[in-house]
């Protein structure tokens, strides 16, 4: 008999019918003799509706009160799922984040989990009950209700799996698993049987939105065996686990892509030593995520700096740079938008030199110009024009033989 943590997102509990379907999935595991802890998100669009209500009252509602407001969404889901399980003949008990012992740092809107006190859950499991936990929420040591920010329910599930030493953490989604690339756009995209935490992390960060990177990182740190599965179809998903247990014959395991990228270039920075940190500190304070950064020095000793951002942050970025022009002492700013980022990911790259070269070769042979490059041990990213994005992804997917190679 094992202990399984299951996580179901907002779409999976979006209606009474779907909640009954989730109950069926939970029952499947109990029939196999497993103990089950279920983590659920708020129903479908209910969070959006609550946000809308709040915005009608205040353009910038207090973060504490937003947490108070939004955490009701998951509380509704856990109660309804518990009723659905009872209806299917299972004994179940629902817990809010604080009842489940999810302790977080004292931050509203985006708190990190600092502790999981599992006594209450373990006591209910020992009474052979299914335990349902509200995702996305926790409590501070002083009793304040907090939320975990984006991907919060994934993080709740992984944290619980780690604390309870669960045998598996199943993340149920509206896709059937992790793919070599997005099957909606790319021919030959294929579901992976398994993938390492690091590879998943790169894919997750690159916008393959199946699993939140925070949850993957948590799983990696605590060696939680994750499985991404479909909440609708009863088929095998993708297992995310430590490298060692997997075959290594695939150098590249997936191709990720993201559009709506803008490259900002700051020309003639007077003193690059302090201006660099000033620029990025200031942008971070304005919650602007900077991705790739390239710096070059001119003959005159000034520096040119380029960095990529999401296009939606462009106006804010320009305003921040403008506001600090005197401090930064640059000459000019250029912005190039309608760009995209294409990345190949695979832990095999570490031991395979020439993978990046092969990528550039493929792009060049397709007449695609590379604007920026960024590499990690298991990833190469290239910023290219948006109009070439899908062509590039398809060419890379073909070139690295992702559709045919067996794992």
| Numbered residues of the known binding site for ATP | 7-10, 173-174, 179, 184
Stretch that binds a copy of itself, among 67-75, 264-272, 283-291, 341-349 (CB under 8 A): 67-75
Binds a copy of itself (CB under 8 A): choice among 1, 31, 33, 56: 56
Helix H or strand E encompassing 172: strand 168-173
Cβ pair 229, 237 in contact under 8 A: yes
Q: Which residues are annotated as a binding site for substrate?
A: 47, 74
Binding mask 68-97 for a copy of itself (x = CB under 8 A): xx-xxx-xx-xxx-xxx-xx-----xx-x-
Closest by CA to 284, choosing from 317, 322, 318, is: 317
Taking the complex as a whole, how short is the minimal distance between the CB of residue 132 and a copy of itself, in angstroms? Answer: 9
Question: Per rule CB under 8 A, is residue 54 in the interface with a copy of itself?
Answer: yes
For the record, the structure tokens of 290 come out as: 């900077």
| Phi, psi angle pair for 54, to nearest 5° | -60, -45
Range in contact with a copy of itself (rule: CB under 8 A) among 62-70, 197-205, 243-251, 323-331: 62-70
| DSSP of 286-334 | TTPPP--EEEEE-TTS-EEEEEEEEGGGHHHHHHHHHHTHHHHT-SEEE
19 is a site residue for a copy of itself (CB under 8 A): yes
- Does 57 contact a copy of itself by CB under 8 A? yes
Q: How far is the CB of 28 from a copy of itself (least distance, A)?
A: 19
d(CA 253, CA 155): 24
> Can you tell me whether residue 214 is helix, strand or coil?
helix
Of 128 and 187, which has the nearer Cβ to a copy of itself?
128
* Selection from 113, 74, 85 nearest residue 20 by Cα: 85
350 binds a copy of itself (CB under 8 A): no
Distance of closest approach, residue 54 Cβ to a copy of itself, in angstroms: 6
Would you state the structure tokens that stand for residue 109, as one six-digit string? 């809107």
Q: Which residues bind a copy of itself (CB under 8 A)?
A: 16, 19-20, 50, 53-54, 56-58, 61-62, 64-66, 68-69, 71-73, 75-76, 78-80, 82-84, 86-87, 93-94, 96, 99, 120, 143, 145
């Amino acid at each position: 008999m094992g202990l399984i943590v299951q996580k179901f997102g907002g779409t999976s509990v979006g209606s009474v019918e779907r909640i009954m379907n989730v109950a069926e999935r939970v029952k499947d595991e109990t029939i196999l003799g497993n103990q089950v802890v279920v983590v659920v998100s708020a129903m479908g669009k209910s969070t959006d509706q609550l946000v809308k209500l709040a915005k009608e009252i205040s353009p910038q509602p207090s973060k504490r009160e937003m947490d108070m407001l939004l955490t009701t969404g998951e509380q509704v889901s856990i109660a309804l799922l518990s009723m659905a399980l009872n209806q299917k003949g299972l004994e179940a008990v629902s817990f809010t984040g604080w009842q489940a012992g999810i302790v977080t740092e004292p931050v509203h809107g985006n708190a990190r989990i600092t502790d999981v006190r599992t006594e209450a859950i373990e006591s209910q499991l020992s009474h052979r009950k299914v335990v349902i936990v509200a995702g996305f929420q926790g409590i501070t040591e002083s009793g304040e209700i907090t939320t975990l920010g984006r991907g919060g329910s994934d993080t709740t599930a992984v944290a619980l799996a780690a604390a309870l030493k669960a045998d598996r953490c199943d993340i149920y989604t509206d896709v059937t698993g992790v793919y070599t690339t997005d099957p909606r756009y790319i021919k030959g995209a294929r579901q992976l049987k398994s993938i390492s935490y690091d590879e998943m992390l790169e894919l997750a960060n690159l916008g393959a939105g199946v699993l939140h990177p925070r949850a993957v990182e948590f799983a990696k740190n605590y060696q939680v065996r994750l499985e991404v599965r479909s909440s609708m179809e009863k088929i095998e998903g993708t297992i995310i686990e430590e490298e060692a247990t997997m075959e290594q014959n695939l150098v590249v395991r997936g191709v990720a892509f993201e559009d709506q990228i803008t490259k900002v270039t700051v020309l003639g920075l007077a003193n690059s030593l302090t201006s660099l940190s000033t620029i990025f500190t200031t942008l971070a304070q304005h919650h602007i995520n900077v991705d790739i950064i390239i710096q070059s020095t001119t003959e005159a000793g000034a520096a040119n700096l380029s960095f990529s951002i999401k296009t939606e942050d462009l106006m804010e970025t320009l305003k921040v740079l403008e506001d600090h022009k005197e401090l930064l002492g640059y000459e000019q700013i250029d912005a190039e938008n309608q760009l995209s980022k294409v990345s190949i990911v695979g832990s095999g790259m570490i031991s395979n030199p020439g993978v990046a070269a092969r990528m550039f070769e493929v792009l060049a042979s397709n007449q695609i110009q590379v604007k920026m490059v960024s590499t990690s041990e298991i990833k190469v990213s290239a910023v290219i024009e948006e109009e070439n994005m899908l062509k590039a992804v398809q060419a890379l997917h073909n070139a690295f033989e992702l559709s045919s190679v067996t794992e």
